[in-house]
A and B are shown apart, each in its own frame.
Chain A
């Protein structure tokens, strides 16, 4: 039972490069989320998807785009990476009987030089 799977685990980019973080869940959850975690700032919501076909901005959406490819997959794209986007990124999902419970992936450590 994999839960929420994120790839890659680590990534180093140069300023201006683009990349896509992948996330997939196998729990048949409707809602999926992307958070970033920075020291002393907790977890901040970047984008979320309440259901397949919908996406909405969270607290810190600037510089990011998302795609809810299907019910299982929710990707996060950095079109032109900046050093301020150096962070740990977490994907999460929720749904089913306990819709409020977030299940997190193991994270992607991203460094932008």
Chain B
């Protein structure tokens, strides 16, 4: 079946450094790629997304890049802060009436003060 591989599973960075999380998807028909942040004891929350007709998207300290040919997409967080510590999930989906995402396995990011 279709899947999304996410790496690394854990990532520790010093406060102020950058963090990069990478995902690879298998369904070539996927055209929507969201990233979700999950804080302890809470449900995931959308932080940024990108569609297949765009190569890069930025929102303040976070950015997502997409290489559709290689079926790779990545999350970049710059100037990391302790509140960035959380579990991050990537996902891939075809755009349709109901979005059936395939999620990655998650990355636990720790920002060390």
Interface of B is mostly: loop
Q: Contact check: which of B1, B42, B46 meets A102 at CB < 8 Å?
A: B46
The answer to whether B43 and A90 touch across the interface, beta carbons within 8 angstroms, is yes
The answer to whether B34 and A43 touch across the interface, beta carbons within 8 angstroms, is no
Q: Please report the number of residue pairs spanning A and B whose Cβ atoms sit closer than 8 angstroms.
A: 60
Interface presence of A58 (CB below 8 A)? yes
Assign chain A's interface to a size class: 20 to 34
0/1 string, A40-52, CB within 8 A of B gives 1: 1111110010100
Interface of A is mostly: strand
Contact residues in B for A25 (Cβ distance below 8 Å): none
Interface presence of A99 (CB below 8 A)? yes
Chain B's closest residue to A32 (CB) is B98
The residues of B with any CB-CB pair to A shorter than 8 Å are: 1, 4, 6, 9, 32, 34, 36, 41-46, 49, 89, 93, 95, 97-101, 103-106
Q: What 3 pairs across the A-B complex have the smallest Cβ distances?
A: A104-B43, A50-B98, A42-B103
